[in-house]
Structure 1
């Protein structure tokens, strides 16, 4: 069994996964996330700011100590949208090399899309997943169905999202664990067969809504059919358009226009309306799912593979747009580093749901970080020995070849 460490360095956050690989699946030892906002100002200046680099390097020093403590023998760090866009990315590379002893890989949008799909697909199609963890029983019997109930006990009503008197001061009413339906779980994707293996209808359209870009991947258990990365992310759009608190209708409309333009570009490569299931990964989607479910606190196990209806996505987005910064910060599921960008991210998600015509979105806690770890784990060990970075991608179905659009991918 090999022990690997994967680091995902995005526009808003940096994350670490250390896991053992037994030849078929990952067994998670630790998973960490820090909001460092590496991409602060990159959309405007084209450069990584010194303060942002300092925050990132501080987090990496903590990660280096954790990696050493856990004894990971191979390390891979991937940098995505903000670093792709920055003229001074060499400053990040130099700092990472000094701290970790490996060079970060500044990957293309297509590579990012493939790794995101590779990390998520194991828990969605054809088995119980490639990342070890607790079983998630209690899902409804049909793929894509939801067992969520509102106060009336009728599935899908969630009147607390539409009734100001029921929502309380923040606009969302937390519900204790076990209150969302008869199973004690928030709405989950259906179970196929026996043994607790989860399954969704295919093909899947996977959306990775990040800080600087959004990756869209159409695929199934056999691999990726098409993918595209576009320059609409929660940090980029918030910096570009949000000036008031709460945002004005005109500012929200400007974000929606940018997202539609990006989706027009993506649709040249990725058929947006052909998927049977829309799956969302990363913090925007999981936070919207947690808010729609009325969770009393952020609970990754309850969010993973939960189902949020299109109507709930729209309702959560409208409530977030109407809230002040302090009201969003008071939400029990809200990470402090996401308060100022969750409204823009929710607009990306809502617009995508509308464009695809999806009735719901499945939230996954498995994403590019898991894809990076899997790719490293299955790649041949480098001749130089421990703590080497690898550019390999996992075999099908984790990250198959990706059809790309003409010209470089945007992201």
Structure 2
């Protein structure tokens, strides 16, 4: 079976097309488009019309790519920026009506779980590992092993979100220090919990 999976991230939209053979992904093709649906969401709470149009057009292109590759099913997931926006229903409606794509908006915990599964299935180690999934709008901390996730946490610190919050007027040492303090404040509880699990983490 050939599948197409679209991930609408805060900063970029990704498409994976692959065949599933005996529960393994083969003949994988990956595409990335910097669509920045999260532009302005942290500040204003809404997906802008410009960002919405940009992402609808990208969805149309990816759907056509899936059709060209004869995908039997297309799955589409929306993450941080979409779930945080006040007008996400408008975007979901347009995605269905204009691109014929059903977008499933997932919670941070689900995002963490999927990210962890993607990593754990690609390694052979049975030891406990810490996976950090740094996106445009959020970062997921996932701790576990091949038997499953022991702890996970999703926090709203991502590349695009922090750039707009602290570096919108350009880089300065003062702005960088403020951003660094903000990040440390957001993750200090997570770091403390991980240290209790004997995971060596440095926050600074």
TM-score, shorter chain, exceeding 0.5: yes
Work out whether 1:254 is the aligned partner of 2:102. Answer: no
| TM-score (ref. length: structure 1) | 0.47
Give the number of the structure whose residues are more often strand, by fraction.
2
The aligned residue for residue 30 of structure 1 is 29
Aligned length: 204
Q: In structure 2, how many angstroms separate the alpha carbons of the residues matched to 1:202 and 1:89?
A: 39
The aligned residue for residue 12 of structure 1 is 11
Structure 2: runs of 5 or more not aligned: none
| TM-score (ref. length: structure 2) | 0.92
SS at match of 2:202: helix
Change in CA separation of 1:24 and 1:276 when aligned onto 2, cut-off 3 Å: farther
User: Given the alignment, which residue of 142, 147, 150 partners 1:217?
Assistant: 142
Change in CA separation of 1:81 and 1:272 when aligned onto 2, cut-off 3 Å: farther
Q: Report which of the two structures shows the higher radius of gyration computed on alpha carbons.
A: 1
Task: Report the alpha carbon displacement of residue 71 of structure 1 after superposing the two structures with TM.
Answer: 1.0
Give the number of the structure whose residues are more often helix, by fraction.
2
RMSD: 2.0
Q: In structure 2, how many angstroms separate the alpha carbons of the residues matched to 1:107 and 1:272?
A: 28
Change in CA separation of 1:230 and 1:70 when aligned onto 2, cut-off 3 Å: same
CA contact (8 A) 1:60 1:99 kept: no
SS at match of 1:232: coil
User: Given the alignment, which residue of 151, 156, 179 partners 1:226?
Assistant: 151
Alignment of 1:89-168 (within 5 A): 89-124=88-123, 126=124
The aligned residue for residue 133 of structure 2 is 208
Q: In structure 2, how many angstroms separate the alpha carbons of the residues matched to 1:11 and 1:46?
A: 13
Structure 1: runs of 5 or more not aligned: 127-198, 278-352, 357-411
1:100-126 Cα shifts (integer Å, max 9, x gaps)? 4342111100000000011111122x2
The aligned residue for residue 160 of structure 2 is 235
**Higher relative contact order, chain-length normalized (CA < 8 Å, sep 6+):** 1
